[in-house]
Chain A
Amino acid sequence: AQKITQTQPGMFVQEKEAVTLDCTYDTSDQSYGLFWYKQPSSGEMIFLIYQGSYDEQNATEGRYSLNFQKARKSANLVISASQLGDSAMYFCAMREGTGGFKTIFGAGTRLFVKA
Chain B
Amino acid sequence: AAGVIQSPRHLIKEKRETATLKCYPIPRHDTVYWYQQGPGQDPQFLISFYEKMQSDKGSIPDRFSAQQFSDYHSELNMSSLELGDSALYFCASSPRMGTSGDTQYFGPGTRLTVL
A residues near B, CB below 8 A?
31-33, 35, 37, 43-47, 50, 52-53, 91, 95-108
Please classify how large the interface on chain B is, using the bins under 10, 10 to 19, 20 to 34, 35 or more. 20 to 34
Contact across chains for A98 and B106 when beta carbons are under 8 A apart: no
Q: How far is the CA of A45 from the CA of B92 in the complex (A)?
A: 9
Residue B58, interface by CB 8 Å: yes
Contacts of A35 in B (CB 8 A): 103-104
Q: Would you give the shortest CB distance from B73 to chain A, in whole angstroms?
A: 18
Contacts of A102 in B (CB 8 A): 45, 48, 56, 58
Please judge, given known A-B contacts A91-B43, A98-B98, A107-B42, whether A43 and B106 are in contact too, CB under 8 Å: no
| B43 CB contact (under 8 Å) in A45, A52, A98 | A45
Contacts of A32 in B (CB 8 A): 100
